Chains A and B, each alone.
Chain A
């Protein structure tokens, strides 16, 4: 302590600080492009969205300050509650399903006795790379009444034609199926990376102790994968709360508004009805919801081995 005080008095510490600043300046220079990108495309729009949530109007009609009116409108808007209901229903179905299926795929493809692993990995991962518009169009062809591939296959086994988009349940399941198909590859790759990192000796020791594959999965694989599962869960929460493109492309929010997600509600208000203020208020609430859920998950779930 005394040495440091003496060094400060003598100016040596000041010199060190300057060097440190110089050294940081170089670091900031390297960080500048990323920081600039962050400020322009993320922090800037985020702050603008929060500010706009206190204004009514849109880009065609102009804005005027309205305090908390947009939030009060949301509070009493039945449409908004309907979108929350659907988003939560979708969320509750998709998050466990996508994680369970991708984990199962990863465990299967991590087995040394499986042949053609790389082919399967590529095939399962491919939908994650394809644009959602392409995937949705493909699915629309497959679920088309009468001549759609799925109904034709069902007809072969004498199963009655399914009207995929005519009821809220079937329309929701269709969206879940498409999103599942798209998401499985992404999470599977992350799980595979986690599986590879589990020490082989643990399995050898378990085998010596007489543990079978199921026991090994529950007692070694799952506990060792906890940090990966936590990461995937958080990613799935963030991605799926923003469900939009599949709704836009496949159901258009129907039937009867039963598949309108929160992101759809934001889009409609912002770009169809010229109510960017209301859309910004909804976006702010969505941001708070995702942040809160993520914070709770980070608190509750273990993040290290």
Chain B
């Protein structure tokens, strides 16, 4: 009796185990993590997820919206602990540690690239780092300069044109200031608020850069020192809002409210202008030209598949689906981003959007190399110190060069 009871119990436990194993074999769960680009992020993705799950019985998408402010902590913990989501949305500037520690599937090596790259043209390479295609490019938010036409008219200042120079920018700001505009411009360069994104276009246009072509730091050359001096003069003359006062986002809000005359802004501002200030008259213009050309900042987001994902083929099918022309056109239009796909019709009939779209080729990003984040932080901390008047630009350049050489040694 006792023996029978034990055998019966073991049998029951075994059956349960088999049933649960069978059910887990039936359902393949794909973790899908993405930081939000909209307050309705979950609602925006849910129809696509439902459509994919319907077309792929046995595959379940576990969608997690990860907040931006704890992005690094969340993804680092997940990838380090072996719990990485199969599919994650990565921003290139945030992801060098994942890329260079080989946390993603190389799409080229997996033999998947040819299935999709045709829709991307040259932009396919924006997710190509360290001789790997680390993901499928998805979206960006390009930047251009916007100016308030009413404020310019009131001050009697000529509108900038696409061929304006950095001297023209200074002259424009001076004229606006002289006519009584309290804060003519905003160049948000506080390090804590990703100020390097607003600073780099000036450095590039002056002919400088963070690293040279061989990957060695070059932040103490004449162009670097000159850029700091040039920008500090704008702060000293009070032609732009004091350093640290407003982030890029706060500057955008002030522009939309008509308090700032001119600022370099990400394309998201277009949606804000349409929604909150439909009567505001504004113009869009390229970055001012300098001796090094005409540049602006732009980073990219891409979808990556984790190397440790148990269901890579299914994850790839999901990535293919969410980066398809149909989904890209719908999602990206809904959140106001710009696509990496070149075969969409997005913004073709919207002059403002088209201006941003056409200018994307001119834009650049930080170098995506191992230790990128540390390189940018250490360098820009010194730039901020120089712009704040804590140390001289020459000293900041020397310090930054020494710090970067130490890190890259």
Contacts and interface: CB of A to CB of B under 8 A. Distances in A.
Interface in A75-96: 76-79
Given A59-B80, A78-B402, A256 B381 contact: yes
B123 to A, nearest CB: 27
| Chain A interface category by residue count | 20 to 34
Interface in A219-260: 251-258
Contacts of A62: 101
B76 A274 contact: yes
Interface in B78-113: 79-80, 97-98, 101, 103
Contacts of B73: 271
Contact of B374 (A76, A145, A256, A273): A273
Interface string B7-50: 00000000000000000000000000000000000000000000
A268 interface: yes
A79 B243 contact: no
Interface string B362-391: 000000000101100110011011111111
Interface stretch (B190-198, B299-307, B352-360): B190-198
B330 interface: no
Contacts of A76: 406
| Chain B interface category by residue count | 35 or more
Contact of B385 (A78, A257, A272): A257
B191 A255 contact: yes
A62 B73 CA distance: 17
B161 interface: no
Nearest to B375: A273
B384 A271 contact: no
Interface in A254-303: 254-258, 268, 271-274
A256 B373 contact: no
A197 interface: no
A205 to B, nearest CB: 56
Nearest to A273: B374
Contact of B399 (A61, A77, A78, A271): A78
Contact of B192 (A61, A252, A271, A274): A252
A271 B80 contact: no
A48 interface: no
Contacts of B385: 255-258
B19 to A, nearest CB: 35
B80 A163 contact: no
Of B244, B377, B389, most buried by chain A (CB within 10 Å of CB) is B244
B344 interface: no
B403 A78 contact: yes
A17 to B, nearest CB: 44
A24 interface: no
Contacts of A165: 190, 244
Contacts of B384: 254-257
B348 interface: no
Contacts of B382: 256-257
A89 to B, nearest CB: 14
A60 B97 contact: yes
Contacts of A66: none
Contact of A256 (B80, B191, B403): B191
B249 interface: no
A194 interface: no
Contacts of B403: 78-79
Interface in B158-209: 190-193
A166 B241 CA distance: 11
Contacts of B373: 272-273
Contacts of B378: 79
Contacts of A163: 242, 244-245
A145 B246 contact: yes
B72 A271 contact: yes
B103 A60 contact: yes
A166 B242 contact: yes
Contact of B386 (A60, A251, A256, A258): A256
Contacts of A253: 191-192, 381
A65 B403 CA distance: 24
A256 B391 contact: yes
A102 to B, nearest CB: 30
A64 interface: no
A167 interface: yes
Contacts of B245: 145, 163, 166
B244 A166 contact: yes
B243 A60 contact: no
Given A163-B244, A257-B381, A274 B390 contact: no
> 3 tightest CB-CB pairs across the interface, nearest first?
A252-B192, A256-B385, A59-B80
Given A61-B101, A256-B381, A256-B388, 12 more contacts: A60-B98, A76-B406, A78-B399, A163-B245, A167-B389, A253-B191, A254-B190, A254-B244, A255-B243, A268-B377, A271-B73, A273-B373
